[in-house]
Amino acid sequence: MAVFEVESWLVAEGKQEKHDDAIRRWFKWVNGHRELFKEWKSVRYFVKTVAGEESNRHFIMWEYDSLTDYEDYKARRSNYEGPYEEYKKNDPYYTDVFNHSSMRLEFWKDMDRDLWIEEG
């Protein structure tokens, strides 16, 4: 059963353009180094709109086939050693573009996927 790691945040005051550039740079870097992220089934990026106080909350959702895949990836990357040292340099989390006090981390699991309506 798939699990989803969902991280959300608000952009730091006055940092929207720098934030957007950092996110795009991160996605490009990850796409160029997919061998480091074999457990990631998918990665999606969203911004919540028309949501009152929650408007403009940004979300990245990582999909893994299992919690074991998530744990394996996190263990391998835990100290940012080897190729993950370069990853950390490209991770927007370690810049000043996030309001860190607004960050949230959730885990979701899919339910009744056989009932989902998807194209393709």
Overall number of domains in the chain: 1
98-113 burial, b at 16+ Cβ within 10 Å, e below that, comes to beeeeeeeeeeeeeee
Residue 1 binned pLDDT confidence (cut-offs 50, 70, 90): confident
* 116 is a domain residue: no
* 66 is a domain residue: yes
* 120 is a domain residue: no
Q: Which has the minimum average pLDDT: 50-54, 78-82, 91-95?
A: 50-54
* 77 is a domain residue: yes
Decide: helix, strand or coil at residue 41.
coil
Q: What's the mean per-residue pLDDT of the chain? A: 94
What's the CA gap between 9 and 61, in Å, rounded? 12
Q: Which two tokens stand for residue 15?
A: 């940092």
Q: Is the per-residue pLDDT at 4 higher than 80?
A: yes
Decide: helix, strand or coil at residue 72.
helix
- CATH at 92: 3.30.70.100
Q: What domain range is 66 assigned to?
A: 3-111
Q: Which has the minimum average pLDDT: 24-28, 50-54, 85-89?
A: 50-54
* 119 is a domain residue: no
> What's the whole-model pTM score?
0.89
The predicted structure's pLDDT at residue 119: 87
The predicted structure's pLDDT at residue 50: 86
Q: Closest Cα partner for 9 from 108, 104, 106, 107?
A: 104
